[in-house]
Chain A
Amino acid sequence: AQTVTQSQPEMSVQEAETVTLSCTYDTSENNYYLFWYKQPPSRQMILVIRQEAYKQQNATENRFSVNFQKAAKSFSLKISDSQLGDTAMYFCASPANTNAGKSTFGDGTTLTVKP
């Protein structure tokens, strides 16, 4: 069984500052993916960043990066130089096996970027 836990229901950050969102997970799979998705207010969910478990190097996408600690089953998202458009709910997720259709999501973290 897979579980994904986000322990921060809400967070806020000042514009241009850095914020880190936490996620822990549990899985019995050897090879798996981990994702961070972003859901802006009243808009559709989109992928922020993806990490493949067999890759030791942490994924980076522009201002977004992850700290993937496989042994600790931790997968945090760091947003640098926060922008007002980063205000959204962020979900950590992991698909079952390599089947993307069935994914387990954390409860989400609502991030507010303040001007």
Chain B
Amino acid sequence: KAGVTQTPRYLIKTRGQQVTLSCSPISGHRSVSWYQQTPGQGLQFLFEYFSETQRNKGNFPGRFSGRQFSNSRSEMNVSTLELGDSALYLCASSPDRGPANTGELFFGEGSRLTVL
């Protein structure tokens, strides 16, 4: 089985621009969640999507948004970028309900965003 795939792996943007990150979950996983990882703040939960619906949301401003498609692939978007948005954005998938759900998250390698 292919793992969680995130694209792009690295990107550089300037303040005020917007960015879209993509995540393809493990086949059969319907839950996709996004985390922001920074040296000072650790891993912060952004949001989770399940069956194309946002199921949970963290404490991030409205500039951070996401969506999920019918094939479970997910995108997150950050508009009006700020210097503080520089971070590693991690996507994780899980099988969610059923016997396959052990509570484990399966992570991608992340998209490292630098805002100049």
Contacts and interface: CB of A to CB of B under 8 A. Distances in A.
Interface residues of A, number: 24
Interface stretch (A41-49, A63-71, A76-84): A41-49
B42 interface: yes
B108 A44 contact: yes
Interface residues of B, number: 27
B77 interface: no
Interface string B34-52: 0100000011010010100
Contacts, number: 74
A96 B56 contact: yes
The majority secondary structure among interface residues of chain A is strand
B32 to A, nearest CB: 7
Contacts of B42: 91, 105-108
Interface of A: 33, 35, 37, 43-47, 50, 91, 93, 95-96, 98-108
